Amino acid sequence: MSQTNKAAITAVGGYVPETKLTNFDLEKMVDTNDEWIRTRTGISERRILREPGKASSDMGARAVEEILRKKNLDPLEIDCIICATVTPDMIFPATANIIGDKIGAKNAFGFDLGAACSGFLFALHTGASFIESGRYKKIIVVGVDKMSSIIDYTDRATCIIFGDGAGAVLLEPSKDEDGFQDAILKSDGSGREYLHIKAGGSLKPATVESVLAKEHYAFQDGQPVFKFAVKGMADVSAELLEKHNLTGDDIAWLVPHQANLRIIDATANRMNLPKEKVMINIQKYGNTTAATIPLCLWEWESKLNKGDNLILAAFGGGFTWGAAWIKWAY
Ligand code: UT7
């Protein structure tokens, strides 16, 4: 029997574009206001990738390059790149492959993983399982979305929420028992009616009519998504704690998907966690879909200590949701 290892995150990288789109900018574009957006979502501004010719792979590559620099890692050593995104550069090939090309990861295989806002969590679980199998030693997991490429900036139901960004982690075999401990992941495809893009897939290929009807933009029926998200993210986080006999006192940090501050608060309350233990940067970046969780890890990296218990939790389109427990490894 081959020896199995735990998988540990050993480095984090991130990238957000420089251009800010503030609530006050949005006030000039749609019928909304700063007060409504802040009180209903917690968002004040978000970042937008404006440069022509730049796509998700460019942000993802920047996040991975930071990891290469920090770890002095030769890209030829990377075994695999898993890219969680709903805004790939193209329908195919995979954005993971394009990131691999841009960073020089000539020996890596790669693929994209589509689980919307839970994408990073699902990809992290997949990458950790690859390491645990003993087959691979260095896996890059990227969460990236250029949401501005699928947002209708005349639709106040969506344009106030989303932003662009990328985060990435390096997974390696853990030297001890720290690292990825467990995850509970869930999907329910019946939720697709509330959050989706109508056209551009095999169900409804692009036509002049679909473009004119704005069917290539993200559609969200916010209220039902909100209700499912509050329950789904809180329930699964509590379930994971109970499964391992953990309480809020054992947890150093909750790392929640940043969709809405009210959903984050509900999850933290259910876990009996004070606000000081919750990573929140939604006010600066909005909802960057697959990038929210790694961007939190990126921003809080210097405050994390070896052995800290982290609960990562997400809810997103699909519906997809889940929670993961990791013991920080450095
Ligand atoms: O990350 C993927 C998963 N996505 C989520 O988790 C998002 C979940 N949903 C949400 O976060 C919230 O539903 C939204 C932030 C999208 C909307 O907040 P809400 O509290 O559910 O608002 P609502 O749709 O119930 O609308 C409340 C009121 C309505 O006016 P009346 O009917 O009460 O007079 C809306 O017309 O707010 C109005 N409204 C707005 N007003 C100003 C809706 N959108 C806006 C807006 N600006 N952008």
Is 180-327 in the same CATH topology as 7-177? yes
Q: Please give the distance, rounded to the nearest whole angstrom, from the Cα atom of residue 221 to the centre of ligand 1.
A: 9
Domain residue ranges of the chain, discontinuous segments joined by +: 7-177, 180-327
Q: Going by C-beta distance under 8 Å and a sequence separation of 6 or more, which residues neighbour residue 47?
A: 16, 17, 18, 19, 20, 21, 163, 164, 165, 284, 285, 286, 288
Question: Per-residue pLDDT tens for 53-87?
Answer: 999 999 999 999 999 999 999 999 999 999 999 99
Mean pLDDT score of the chain, rounded to an integer?
97
* Number of separate helices (H) and strands (E) present in the chain: 11, 13
> What is the structure's pLDDT at 254?
98
pLDDT tens, position by position, 142-171: 999 999 999 999 999 999 999 999 999 999
pLDDT band at 290 (very low <50, low <70, confident <90, very high): very high
Spell out the alpha helix ranges (H) of the chain.
23-27, 34-41, 56-71, 95-103, 119-132, 156-159, 208-212, 222-243, 261-270, 282-285, 292-300
Q: What is the pLDDT of residues 196-255, one digit of tens each?
A: 999 999 999 999 999 999 999 999 999 999 999 999 999 999 999 999 999 999 999 999
> Model confidence over 84-102: pLDDT tens digits?
999 999 999 999 999 999 9
Distances in Å between the alpha carbon of 301 and those of 3, 14, 308?
A: 30, 11, 12
Q: Would you tell me how many other CB atoms lie within 10 Å of the CB of residue 280?
A: 17
HEC string for 223-270: HHHHHHHHHHHHHHHHHHHHHCCCCHHHCCEEEECCCCHHHHHHHHHH
Structural domain 180-327, CATH architecture: 3-Layer(aba) Sandwich (3.40)
- Mean pLDDT along residues 121-136: 97
* CATH T-level topology, domain 7-177: Peroxisomal Thiolase; Chain A, domain 1 (3.40.47)
Q: Are strands 320-327 and 179-187 parallel, antiparallel or unpaired?
A: antiparallel
For the cut 70, the answer to whether the pLDDT of residue 4 exceeds it is no
Whether residue 3 is predicted with pLDDT greater than 70 in this model: the reply is no
Decide whether any atom of ligand 1 lies within 6 Å of the 156 Cβ.
Answer: yes
Q: 157: CA distance to ligand 1 center in Å?
A: 6
Q: Is the CB of 39 under 6 A from ligand 1?
A: no
Q: Which atom of ligand 1 is nearest to the CA of 263?
A: 6
Whether 287 lines ligand 1, by a CB cut-off of 6 Å, is yes
Q: What is the mean pLDDT of residues 174-187?
A: 97
Q: Which residues are catalytic?
A: 117, 257, 287
Please state, in angstroms and rounded to a whole number, the distance separating the CA atoms of residues 13 and 255.
16
